[in-house]
Amino acid sequence: MCSSSPITFIQTWVARLSDSSSDGVRVLLVEDETSISEPFSNALAREGFVPRIAASLAEARVALADEAPDIVLLDLMLPDGDGRELARELRASTQIPMIMLTARGSEIDRVVGLEIGADDYVVKPFAAAEVMARIRAVLRRSRQPQAAGRLTAGDVRVDVAARRAWRGGQELSLTRKEFDLLARLARSPGQVVTREDLMSDVWDENWFGSTKTLDVHMTALRRKLGEDPAAPRCIQTVRGVGFRFDPVGED
């Protein structure tokens, strides 16, 4: 644990403290800026990850064909194209978790990254320890075994077959649509579920027009989850796109 600065030391220590399950995890780092990829790749290797750098979309495709990684970290602006192109290809054919690395801090770019199936995003410049913590969180979520018909996300439990739900130890008294909404969101913890997907999954696959009914049910569901409407912790609004279920506690 020799480190060049006390801050790096503390970051490394905190990352180790939070989880030590990085051993052997193959990380494909798609990033063309060597000033970012090389030190970050070294940091990953020091923590037990097995990093591989691809400096372009073409190199990334070669690496992916060679050996499937456990997770992909993907820059948006690459010399031979847009990282989102690769993200779409990956999502169309695999479930490999993805974290977008973006220099563009605007909300719209972040949302577009998540909408095409990225599990998380990080805005550059980033601290290596923070990204490693995100990698571990994404992997933990993607590996969480779910008993058939039962969803557990943080302190929320949903028994789909019995149509019962709990937050903490407390059973929730939900209407049919509120239950369906919670179950749909809890099925994709940490991911944005678009308004369109919620409408078609929970209401009617042929719905069109207003999604006001969604907002009405969402407000009621949040209230029953004990959320503060001004600062919800469990169900986040991703403005203009949809909602994200963020597991709170017991995770």
The least distance separating Ca ion from the CB of residue 77, rounded to whole angstroms, comes to: 4
- We find the least distance from the C-beta atom of residue 118 to Ca ion, in angstroms, to be 16
Is the Cβ of residue 40 or residue 243 nearer to Ca ion in the bound state? 40
How many residues belong to the site for Ca ion (CB under 5 A)? Answer: 3
Residue nearest to Ca ion (CB): 77
Q: Shortest distance, CB of residue 101 to Ca ion, whole angstroms?
A: 8
Q: Which residues contact 221 (CB under 8 A, 6 or more apart)?
A: 174, 178, 181, 182, 235
Q: Among residues 126 and 203, whose Cβ is nearest to Ca ion? A: 126
Q: Measured from the CB atom, is 53 or 248 closer to Ca ion?
A: 53
Q: Report the residue number, 75 or 180, with the smaller CB distance to Ca ion.
A: 75
Stretch 170-229 residues interacting with Ca ion (CB under 5 A): none
Q: What one-character-per-residue DSSP string does the chain give?
A: ---SSHHHHHHHHHHHHH--TTTT-EEEEE-S-HHHHHHHHHHHHHTT-EEEEE-SHHHHHHHHHH---SEEEEESEETTEEHHHHHHHHHHH----EEEEES---HHHHHHHHHTT-SEEEESS--HHHHHHHHHHHHHHHH----TTEEEETTEEEETTTTEEEETTEEP---HHHHHHHHHHHTSTTSEEEHHHHIIIII-TT--S--HHHHHHHHHHHHHTT--TTS-SSEEEETTTEEEE---S--
**Least Å from the CB of residue 122 to Ca ion:** 13
Instruction: Give 79 or 226: the residue with its C-beta nearer to Ca ion.
Output: 79
What residues from 49 to 88 belong to the interface with Ca ion (CB under 5 A)?
75, 77
Nearest approach, Cβ of residue 63 and Ca ion (Å)? 16
Residues of span 12-51 touching Ca ion by CB under 5 A: 32
What's the min distance (Å) between Cβ of 86 and Ca ion? 13
Closer of 57 and 135 to Ca ion (Cβ): 57
Query: What is the phi/psi pair of residue 79, to 5°?
Result: -60, -30
* Residues in touch with Ca ion (CB under 5 A): 32, 75, 77
